[in-house]
């Protein structure tokens, strides 16, 4: 890039950019792990199963059965860790939920009925 145009670009620190990517990846993995815990597992001491039973067929209880729904709710606070303003937060929120959903699709192995 010609030096006379370089002032038009924001300063970029590669180290900071790599740290941001690393933090995003960690938050995406954490979002997937927490969502998997809420939707697919009973949790330590069956705590998640008890909460799921207590909520029953309410809207919150049904959300605990849906990986996509739960990932949206659990990605929201995680997005606070990787964003600096409201627009960044909104994009990060959806990106973290999307990453968790992609990880779920890559790792989900449906069980076949025994026959």
26-38: pLDDT as tens digits: 999 999 999 999 9
Say how far apart CA 41 and CA 6 lie, in whole Å: 52
Sign of CA dihedral 83, 26, 59, 105: positive
Per domain, the residue ranges of the chain are: 25-104
Task: Quick: pLDDT tens for 37-63.
Answer: 999 999 999 999 999 999 999 998 998
Confidence at residue 108, expressed as pLDDT on a 0 to 100 scale: 83
């Amino acid at each position: 890039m010609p030096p006379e145009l370089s002032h038009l670009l924001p300063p970029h620190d590669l180290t900071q950019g790599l740290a941001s990517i690393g933090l995003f990846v960690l938050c995406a993995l954490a979002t997937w792990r927490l969502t998997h815990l809420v939707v697919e597992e009973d949790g330590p001491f069956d705590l998640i199963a008890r909460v799921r039973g207590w909520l029953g067929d309410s809207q919150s209880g049904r959300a605990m059965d849906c990986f996509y729904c739960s990932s949206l709710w659990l990605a929201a606070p995680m997005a606070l860790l990787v964003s600096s303003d409201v627009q960044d937060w909104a994009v990060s929120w959806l990106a973290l939920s999307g990453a968790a959903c992609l990880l779920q699709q890559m790792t989900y192995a449906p069980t076949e009925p025994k026959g």
